[in-house]
Structure 1
Amino acid sequence: MSKRQEPTQQQSEASSSEVNQTHFGFKQVATEQKASMVAEVFHSVAAKYDVMNDLMSMGIHRLWKRFTIDCSGVRAGHKVLDLAGGTGDLAAKFSKMVGPTGKVVLADINNAMLTVGRDKLRNLGLVGNLEYVQANAEMLPFPDNTFDVITIAFGLRNVTDKDKALASMYRVLKPGGRLLVLEFSKPQSELLTKAYDLYSFHLLPKMGQLVANDSESYKYLAESIRMHPDQETLKGMMDAVGFEQTSFHNLTGGIVALHRGFKF
């Protein structure tokens, strides 16, 4: 009978180090560092974020967001959380839909993005039913059962612990409420995948350099998309934290997918 070997101190430290690491694009970084590194990316791109969104997607991001809004079921009097809401594209629409008896909370972990979003919405004259909160998706600072609808558009892939964030969203959602996750996903054809890779890793960083004077941030954004869970995996993650009747709808050949789940 062989004697069981105890791990050496070096092995234990290596194992501990692996456990406490996560991905930042294609790199491995300390888990506790990722949030600040993502914050630096979005602080860098905040001022040019809307312009780059239009250029990167050739304006199609507006159609993806319109589809999300159409699937939201938001109506007058609802309380809506637009999480990782950035410059407020969804919040602006929801503000008009919920009316004076409703409320929209635009939340983002990044203060620079939140500032751009607040200034943009105020310039549109949207002030009465909007609230701005700097918040970490993994630890949402709201009571249980607060919101009728939660949306997170192009933000979940930047969260360090996605399972923890989804559980936090489930907690603050009212029974009968729904979550919508709009995010880049896995293209459904090999040809589209090749074309998308060529665009993402060669053209996108060059566009970032020309428009935002920042190629590295857009290189990270392309890498973060590839590291994000695919459609079925994300659906399973939503199921695991309690969401029911989960589903997803592929947009633009699966380059983007809208996931939906309900709390009952």
Structure 2
Amino acid sequence: MTLLRDHDLARAFDHASHSYDRLTALNPGYRADLDRSARRLRLPDGGAGLHVLDLGCGTGASTRALLRAAPYARITAVDASAGMLRRALTKTWPDRVRFRHLIAEEVSTAEEGPYDAVFAAYLFRNVTDPDGVLATVRALLRPGGRLAVHEYSLSGSAAHRALWTAVCHGVIIPAGTLSGDRALYRHLWRSVLAFDTAPEFAARLTDAGFTGVRTVPVAGWQTGIVHTFLARSAAGTPRDAR
């Protein structure tokens, strides 16, 4: 199945940015699940003194979830889509939140890191080289730093695959078609089916050198479809590990 990648995907998100927040608001639990995954980072003291990277921030829904979970953290939010970032910047943010137009592979410790935590929502399914991005994330984190990945990653159950396809063809793709973004929402459907199952992505995290990997489901209709993956950068991880 053909998927959008790299610049083609960024352009599709640019075009969809005008209606993205409105369409995601139709998904029951979308923002609550992001909040739950951000809280699962368990950042101490409301994030005071910590620097957190929001990798693939889109229009800022994940950034807002981080702010609710860690209201005192300094947050750097990056995304490959200029259109999505423009939408994010129309919203009100505290001074400690900064947005950057970068692809995941371009983020380096030279930017502002190292980071105490990384939050990546709906990112890894969309990158060409997830192992390369995981290596980048591992290098960006301080030793013992925390990672939370919030992602469409199916349980492996045929029932969950069937439910996902039914929801996409019954609701998501028709809604995206009405907004003029059919290609992007067909990509969403196909990319979830093509991506790692939850056990496979957890194994990918372990293989990338992360420790304490855990997989936690979300609630509601997306149980078995969306998961939070939690992990830590191993103590003593070299800063130049790739």
On whether the aligned pair clears a TM of 0.5, the verdict is yes
CA distance in 2, matches of 1:28, 1:259: 23
| Residue 92 of structure 1: how far off its partner (Å) | 2.5
CA offsets 1:43-99 (integer angstroms, 9 cap, x no match): 1111111111122x23x1112112112111222121000110111123224346342
Match of 2:36 among 64, 67, 86: 67
CA offsets 1:133-163 (integer angstroms, 9 cap, x no match): 1122123233496111100101211111000
| Residue 202 of structure 1: how far off its partner (Å) | 4.2
CA distance in 1, matches of 2:194, 2:2: 10
Q: For structure 1, which runs of at least 5 residues remain unmatched after alignment?
A: 1-25
CA contact (8 A) 2:153 2:226 kept: yes
CA contact (8 A) 1:84 1:109 kept: yes
Q: Give the TM-score of the pair, scaled to structure 1.
A: 0.79
Find the counterpart in structure 2 of residue 27 from structure 1: 2
Q: Say whether residues 1:46 and 2:20 are aligned partners.
A: no
Find the counterpart in structure 1 of residue 54 from structure 2: 82
CA distance in 1, matches of 2:228, 2:95: 29
Q: Which residues in structure 2 correspond to 1:109-258 (within 5 Å)?
A: 109-120=80-91, 122=92, 126-143=93-110, 146-187=114-155, 189-210=157-178, 212-251=179-218, 252-258=222-228
Q: Relative contact order (C-alpha < 8 Å, sep 6+): which is higher?
A: 2
Q: Give the TM-score of the pair, scaled to structure 2.
A: 0.86
| Residue 192 of structure 1: how far off its partner (Å) | 3.9
Q: Say whether residues 1:103 and 2:70 are aligned partners.
A: no
CA distance in 2, matches of 1:118, 1:170: 28
How large is the Cα RMSD of the aligned pairs?
1.9
CA distance in 1, matches of 2:163, 2:78: 34
Q: Which of the two has higher C-alpha Rg?
A: 1
Aligned partner letter, 1:204: I
Find the counterpart in structure 2 of residue 9 from structure 1: none
Aligned partner letter, 1:41: A
| Residue 203 of structure 1: how far off its partner (Å) | 3.1
CA contact (8 A) 2:147 2:230 kept: yes
CA contact (8 A) 1:80 1:104 kept: yes
| Residue 186 of structure 1: how far off its partner (Å) | 1.0
Q: Find the residue that maps to 1:27 and give its secondary structure.
A: coil
Deviates more, 1:136-145 or 1:248-257: 136-145
Which structure is higher in helix share? 1
CA contact (8 A) 2:14 2:81 kept: yes
Aligned partner letter, 2:39: D
CA contact (8 A) 1:72 1:180 kept: yes
CA distance in 2, matches of 1:191, 1:224: 17
Q: Find the residue that maps to 1:217 and give its secondary structure.
A: helix
CA distance in 2, matches of 1:135, 1:238: 23
CA distance in 2, matches of 1:28, 1:81: 27
